[in-house]
Amino acid sequence: MTSQSKHAEMLSGAAMVIRALADEGVEYVYGYPGGAVLHIYDALFQQNKVKHVLVRHEQAATHMADAYARATGKAGVVLVTSGPGATNAVTGIATAYMDSIPMVVLTGQVMSHLIGEDAFQETDMLGISRPIVKHNMSVRRPEDIPYLIKKAFYIAQSGRPGPVVLDIPKDMTIPSNKFPYHYPDEIKLRSYQPKLKGHSGQIKKAVSALLAAKKPVLYSGGGVIMGGAAAELTELAQYLNLPVTNTLMGLGAYPGEDKQFIGMLGMHGSYEANQAMHHADLILAVGARFDDRVTNNTKKFCPNATIIHIDIDPASISKTINAHIPIVGLVQPVLEEMLATVKQKKKKLDSSALEQWWQQINDWRAVHGGRYDTTSALLKPQHVIEQVSKITKGEAFVCSDVGQHQMFAAQYYKFNKPNRWINSGGLGTMGFGLPAAMGVKLNFPQADVVCVTGEGSIQMNIQELSTCKQYGLGVKIINLNNGYLGMVKQWQDMNYESRYASSYMDSLPDFIKLAEAYGHVGIRVTKPEELQPALQRAFVELKDQLVFLDIHIDPKEHVYPMQIPGGAVNEMFLSKTERT
C-alpha cells in the first residue's frame, strides 16, 4: 500500500460523475452528448464500468431509463446536454413524475459565470423542471458532486419515488481541476425522512373493518408494483378470498388469469370491476390514488363503502376521496403486517356473505366478459392482443404507447407477473412505447419484450429504430394500424357526431420498408389468417431480431366498456349500442 492510497483519490468533477454512478451500481446511462457535457463524455470514454447508450432523441433516453426503473424498481439514469438537450428530456421527466418512477437526470449547464446571461444553449432547467420533478439541484462546487449524486439517488428511490434533476455547469467538470473523491454510504436529511412502517393501531383498525366486510374489493395501483408488494398483496387476497381489481398502473400485481382477478377498473375497466367497486361495502385501496380516470364522478363514487387507504404519500390520502381508515407507509411492510394480524386473529370474512358477493360478481362477469365481435372478416385488435398474450404465455414485458391499442393491451393481455406492464398512465405520453421497450430489452436480453403501439404513436419516436440496430435490441413491435388516431376518433364518434378533425392519418409510411431501411425485419398482416404465422415468425424463428409487425386492424373498433362522463364508477357504455 502506498502512502498515497490512504488518502482519497483525486478526481475531476467529470470523472467523479462517472465514478459515483459506478459506485451506485449503475450499468447503463442513456443519453446524448453536447457542448456542456463533453468533459463528462470524455470521462465516460476513459472507463468501462458505466456503459452509455446513444439514443437518437433525448426524449427516448428518458423513456429508456424510465422503463428500466419500472421493470426493476431501481432508478434509471439519463445524461443530456444543456439547452435543447435538456428541454428534449422534459416530456420524459414529466412522464416519470406522473407515474412516480425513480430516475436521475444529469443535465449539462453553461459555465457558472455565464448563467443568467442568455448564453449559448442556456436554459433554466431547474426552473423548467421544478413542477415535474420530485426534486432538483445544481452543482455549485465540484467537490460536492459525489454527495449530490448520492442524494439524487436517495431522493429518487425512497418514499414515493420520482425523477430528480441534477444540473451540472460545465466548469464543475473541468478535467484538470481535481478534488478528493469520497462516495457517501448513506445520506441523512433533516428535512426529508420518508415514513416506512405503517401505524400499527391503524393497521389493526383496518383489519377489523376488513374482516367485518360483506362485500369487499381490493383495489391496487402502481404503488404495489413500484413498492415491490405484489407477493404480499396476492397472499392477502388469496388468504381471504377477496376480489381484486387493478388500476392501469397496477396490472400484474395480481395474476391476470386467476379467478379472483376481476379485471382493470375505471374508464375502460371491466364491467364486473366497476360494478363491484360501486356496490362494495369496503374498499381496500393499496398504492392507488383515486385518480379521475378511476373514480369518474367523485360525488357518486362508491356510496356505501368504508375506505381503507394505504399509501406512502400522505398527500394522496383523502385528496379526491375521503379515506375512513388511512394508513401512511410503504405498502410492502404494511401489507405484511396486515397479513400477520389477520392470521393471528384466526378469523376470516363471513363466508356465506362472501359467497353471495362472489355469486353477484360472477353474474356481472357474464354480462360483458370482454366480448368482442369474433366473426368479423377484419382483424380485431382484441384478438391480436390475446394471441400475443398466448404466444408469450403472459410473461412478456409489454411496453405500450398511448391510445386505443394501450387499452386493448391492458384489457386483453393476461399479466401474470408484476413489473411487466409498462405504460405511461399518468401523462399518457405518445412516443413512450418503443424507447420503453428498448430500455427493458437492453437490461433483459433473454426476455420477450413487446412494444404495443399504433401508427400514430410509433411515429413519435420512430427514429429509435436506429438505436435498436446499433445495440441489437430485438424488440417485437406490434403496430395496431387502424389508420387513425383511434382514441381521438372514438371520442369524435361518441361526442362530435363522427367529425374526424385531424384524426385521420394520411400518407403513412410503408412500415415494412421503413423497418428494412433501418436494418430490421418488417411483416405486414392484413388478414386474420396471416396473424398466427407472422407471430410465429416474429417470436420464434426471428427470436433475437427486431421485428416490426404492421397489423392492419378494423379501423372502426372502439374500446369498451367506457365510463359515461359525469356518472358513477359503474355507469358505462358496453358497446356502440348498449349502456348500463
Partner 1 sequence: MRHIISVLLENESGALARLVGLFAQRGYNIDSLTVAPTEDPTLSRLTLVTHGNDQVIEQITKQLHKLIEVVKLTDLSEAAHIERELMLVKVKAVGEQRDEVKRSADIFRGQIVDVSATTYTVQLVGTSDKLDAFIQALSGTQILEVVRSGVSGISRGEKTLAL
Told to judge if 170 belongs to the known catalytic residues of this protein, a careful annotator would answer yes
Nearer to ligand TPP among residue 399 and residue 485 (C-beta): 485
Instruction: Report what 318 binds from ligand TPP, Mg ion, partner 1, none; CB cut-off 5-8 Å by kind.
Output: partner 1
Instruction: Report what 291 binds from ligand TPP, Mg ion, partner 1, none; CB cut-off 5-8 Å by kind.
Output: none
- 480 binds ligand TPP per the rule CB under 6 A: yes
- Least distance in Å: CB of 566 to partner 1? 21
> How many Cα atoms sit within 13 Å of 401 on the Cβ side?
28
Amino acid at 62: T
Told to judge if 267 belongs to the known catalytic residues of this protein, a careful annotator would answer no
- 425 binds ligand TPP per the rule CB under 6 A: no
Q: Candidates 173-181, 260-268, 356-364, 427-435 — which segment interacts with ligand TPP by CB under 6 A?
A: 427-435
543 touches 449 (CB < 8 A): no
> How many Cα atoms sit within 13 Å of 274 on the Cβ side?
30
Told to judge if 397 belongs to the known catalytic residues of this protein, a careful annotator would answer no
Q: What angle do CA 206, 212, 218 make, to 5 degrees?
A: 60
Nearer to Mg ion among residue 291 and residue 554 (C-beta): 554
Nearer to ligand TPP among residue 105 and residue 559 (C-beta): 559
Nearer to ligand TPP among residue 294 and residue 488 (C-beta): 488
Contacts of 256 (CB under 8 A, 6+ apart): 394, 413, 414, 415, 416
Question: H/E/C letters for each residue in 380-426?
Answer: CHHHHHHHHHHHCCCCCEEEECCCHHHHHHHHHCCCCCCCCEECCCC
- 482 binds Mg ion per the rule CB under 5 A: yes
Q: Hey, is 562 helix, strand or coil?
A: strand
Instruction: Report what 190 binds from ligand TPP, partner 1, Mg ion, none; CB cut-off 5-8 Å by kind.
Output: partner 1
Nearer to partner 1 among residue 130 and residue 182 (C-beta): 130
Q: What is the DSSP letter of 545?
A: S
First to last CA, the chain: 78
- 127 binds partner 1 per the rule CB under 8 A: yes
- How far apart CA 559 and CA 379 sit, in angstroms, is 15
Q: What are phi and psi for residue 139, nearest 5 degrees?
A: -85, 125
Nearer to partner 1 among residue 124 and residue 544 (C-beta): 124
Instruction: Report what 134 binds from ligand TPP, Mg ion, partner 1, none; CB cut-off 5-8 Å by kind.
Output: partner 1
Q: Cell numbers 401523462 label which residue?
A: 427
User: Could you say which residues in the range 213-252 bind ligand TPP, by CB under 6 A?
Assistant: none
Instruction: Report what 425 binds from ligand TPP, partner 1, Mg ion, none; CB cut-off 5-8 Å by kind.
Output: none
Q: Is 216 left (phi over 0), alpha (psi -120 to 50) or beta?
A: beta
- From the candidates 120, 195, 235, 543, give the one annotated as an active-site residue: 120
Residue from 70, 405, 414, 476 in contact with ligand TPP (CB under 6 A) = 405
- From the candidates 24, 58, 336, 455, give the one annotated as an active-site residue: 58
Per-residue contact string for residues 435-454; x = within reach of Mg ion by CB under 5 A? -------------------x
Q: How far is CA 550 from CA 156, 169, 403, 454, 475, in A?
A: 37, 44, 16, 9, 14
Q: What is the size of the binding site for ligand TPP (CB under 6 A)?
A: 20
Instruction: Report what 429 binds from partner 1, Mg ion, ligand TPP, none; CB cut-off 5-8 Å by kind.
Output: ligand TPP
- How large is the C-alpha radius of gyration of the chain? 25
Told to judge if 487 belongs to the known catalytic residues of this protein, a careful annotator would answer yes
Q: Candidates 8-16, 135-143, 213-221, 235-243 — which segment interacts with partner 1 by CB under 8 A?
A: 135-143
DSSP state letters, 138-202: E-SSGGGHHHHHHHHHHHHHSSS--EEEEEEEGGGG-TT-EEEE---S---BTTB----SPPHHH
- Least distance in Å: CB of 578 to Mg ion? 24
Instruction: Report what 45 binds from partner 1, ligand TPP, Mg ion, none; CB cut-off 5-8 Å by kind.
Output: none
- How far apart CA 300 and CA 382 sit, in angstroms, is 31
276 touches 364 (CB < 8 A): yes
User: Could you say which residues in the range 170-189 bind partner 1, by CB under 8 A?
Assistant: 189
31 touches 80 (CB < 8 A): yes
Q: Hey, is 316 helix, strand or coil?
A: helix
- 192 binds partner 1 per the rule CB under 8 A: yes
Residue from 5, 191, 374, 375 in contact with partner 1 (CB under 8 A) = 191
Nearer to ligand TPP among residue 138 and residue 503 (C-beta): 503
Site of interaction with partner 1 (CB under 8 A): 126-127, 130-131, 134-138, 155, 160, 189-192, 313-315, 318-319
Site of interaction with ligand TPP (CB under 6 A): 401-405, 428-431, 454-457, 480, 482, 484-488
Q: Which of the residues are catalytic?
A: 58, 120-121, 170, 487
